[in-house]
């Protein structure tokens, strides 16, 4: 007992010391980020380090990132449910996949004909697309923290397809219902094929052309079986990526930590957008070097007006159920 009594002052002093430092220890905030897909995707290999850097600089290191990659917490298809329910606190999302949760996200599948710079402009302008979508996300207990456009898909083919009339009678691979409906309106026959089968389908003439992500031309080496690629602005929609948080969780953070999170995601998403543009430029030159002819539609293109005339009625139909505020943003361009 005597030995124990000698320890009491030491134990008591230690407890006092721990009590003094524990508030500092517990003041640190960890932000869990759920992602899916391969580690080489630009929205992981570029965005995640940029987010870590922004959180550290904004909070002097008191707010850190806990990254859960590879679908450990949730896959892309789970996010529209998992984030509103709080099963995911913050997550990487394909915004196009939220049409059943936030109807205004249909705008990214609509044939707007917007170029990537035009899309960026309406995202960031005051009361722009970021603001309008975030208001709708909040109604679903979610907060939209950032957007990054991967760009419109490319249409790869062995013969040039540049004008709407060039598509008539062609068999073309699609990967969404919206693309299928657009091709039917052009007189083409949409064909559903897994991404892994596109190379052989083009090689053996099973399809005349294929719609794929511009980056997918490289990953599937489609330049070996296709000589042409049309990047049709957003007349076949665009692939909009983003990051979202559970609203209840975010609102439960301290005011400083909440501001840090919102600010850091904004910085990282804008950095990611620039990296995507740079990567597309590099790929564009790489495809040309491999013998492909790349045609990009834009308001300055001689074919653009013909596309706009054909797509006008389809655009009006595609925007049914989209709020007037969002309709005005994409239709006034």
pLDDT for position 7 = 42
As a whole number of angstroms, the distance between CA 234 and CA 288 comes to 22
Tokens (6 digits) for 80: 């529209």
Given pLDDT bands bounded at 50, 70 and 90, which one contains residue 201? very high
Given pLDDT bands bounded at 50, 70 and 90, which one contains residue 111? very high
pLDDT for position 113 = 95
**pLDDT score of 293 more than 90:** yes
Are β-strands 142-149 and 209-212 bridged in parallel, bridged antiparallel, or unpaired?
Answer: unpaired
Average per-residue pLDDT for the chain: 91
Are 209 and 154 in contact, with CB atoms under 8 Å apart? Answer: no
Are 261 and 55 in contact, with CB atoms under 8 Å apart? Answer: yes
**pTM given for the model:** 0.87
- Strands of the sheet containing 154-157, edge to edge, are 189-192, 171-174, 209-212, 154-157, 228-231, 293-296
As a whole number of angstroms, the distance between CA 188 and CA 209 comes to 10
Sign for the CA dihedral angle at 210, 213, 219, 222 comes to: positive
Q: Per residue in 202-216, pLDDT tens?
A: 999 999 999 999 999
Q: What is the mean pLDDT of residues 98-113?
A: 94
Pick from 228, 245, 235: nearest CA to 293: 228
Given pLDDT bands bounded at 50, 70 and 90, which one contains residue 251? very high
What are 127-130's contacts with CB under 8 Å, separation 24+?
A: 127/325, 128/329, 129/326, 129/329, 129/330
Q: Where are the CATH 3.40.190.170 domain residues in the chain? A: 28-150+239-281, 154-237+290-331
pLDDT for position 11 = 43
pLDDT for position 176 = 85
State which fold the 28-150+239-281 domain adopts: D-Maltodextrin-Binding Protein; domain 2 (3.40.190)
Q: What is the mean pLDDT of residues 260-276?
A: 97
As a whole number of angstroms, the distance between CA 307 and CA 114 comes to 12
> For 60-174, where are the alpha helices, taking DSSP H only?
79-85, 116-124, 129-138
Beta bridge partners of 273: none
Sign for the CA dihedral angle at 246, 251, 256, 259 comes to: positive
As a whole number of angstroms, the distance between CA 223 and CA 291 comes to 8
As a whole number of angstroms, the distance between CA 224 and CA 292 comes to 9
Within 8 A by CB and 6+ apart from 206, the residues are 171, 191, 193, 200
Residue 99 has what DSSP assignment? T
Given pLDDT bands bounded at 50, 70 and 90, which one contains residue 333? low
Q: What is the mean pLDDT of residues 16-23?
A: 41
Virtual torsion, Cα 266, 269, 274, 279, nearest 10 deg: 170
Q: Per residue in 85-95, pLDDT tens?
A: 999 999 999 99
Are 208 and 170 in contact, with CB atoms under 8 Å apart? Answer: yes
Given pLDDT bands bounded at 50, 70 and 90, which one contains residue 178? confident
Q: Per residue in 295-330, pLDDT tens?
A: 999 999 999 999 999 999 999 999 999 999 999 999
Pick from 205, 210, 178, 204: nearest CA to 191: 210
Q: What is the CATH number of domain 154-237+290-331?
A: 3.40.190.170
**Alpha-carbon 96 to chain mean position:** 8
């Amino acid at each position: 007992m005597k030995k124990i009594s000698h320890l009491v002052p030491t134990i008591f002093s230690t407890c006092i010391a721990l009590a003094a430092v524990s508030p500092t220890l517990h003041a640190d905030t960890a932000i869990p980020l759920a992602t899916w897909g391969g580690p080489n995707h630009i929205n992981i290999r570029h965005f995640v380090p940029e987010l870590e850097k922004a959180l550290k600089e904004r909070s002097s290191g008191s707010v850190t990132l806990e990254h859960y990659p590879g679908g450990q917490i949730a896959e892309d298809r789970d996010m529209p449910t998992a984030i509103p329910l709080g099963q995911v606190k913050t997550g990487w999302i394909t915004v196009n996949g939220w049409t059943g949760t936030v109807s205004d996200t249909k705008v990214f599948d609509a044939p707007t004909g917007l170029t990537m710079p035009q899309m960026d402009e309406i995202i960031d302008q005051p009361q722009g697309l970021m603001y309008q979508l975030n208001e709708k996300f909040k109604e679903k207990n979610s907060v939209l923290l950032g957007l990054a456009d991967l760009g419109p898909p490319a249409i790869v083919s062995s013969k040039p397809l540049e004008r709407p009339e060039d598509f008539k009678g062609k068999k073309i691979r699609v990967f969404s219902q919206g693309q299928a409906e657009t091709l039917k309106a052009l007189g083409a026959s949409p064909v559903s094929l897994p991404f892994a089968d596109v190379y052989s389908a083009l090689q053996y003439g099973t399809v005349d052309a294929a719609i794929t992500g511009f980056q997918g031309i490289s990953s599937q080496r489609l330049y070996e079986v296709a000589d042409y690629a049309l990047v049709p602005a957003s007349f076949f929609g665009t692939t909009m990526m983003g990051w979202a948080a559970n609203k209840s969780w975010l609102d439960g953070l301290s005011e400083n930590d909440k501001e840090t999170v919102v600010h850091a995601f904004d910085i990282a998403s804008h950095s990611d957008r620039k990296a995507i543009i740079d990567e597309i430029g590099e790929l564009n030159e790489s495809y040309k070097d491999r013998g492909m002819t790349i045609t990009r539609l834009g308001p300055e293109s001689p074919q653009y007006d013909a596309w706009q005339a054909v797509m006008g009625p389809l655009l009006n139909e595609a925007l049914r159920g989209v709020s007037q505020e969002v309709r005005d943003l994409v239709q006034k361009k």
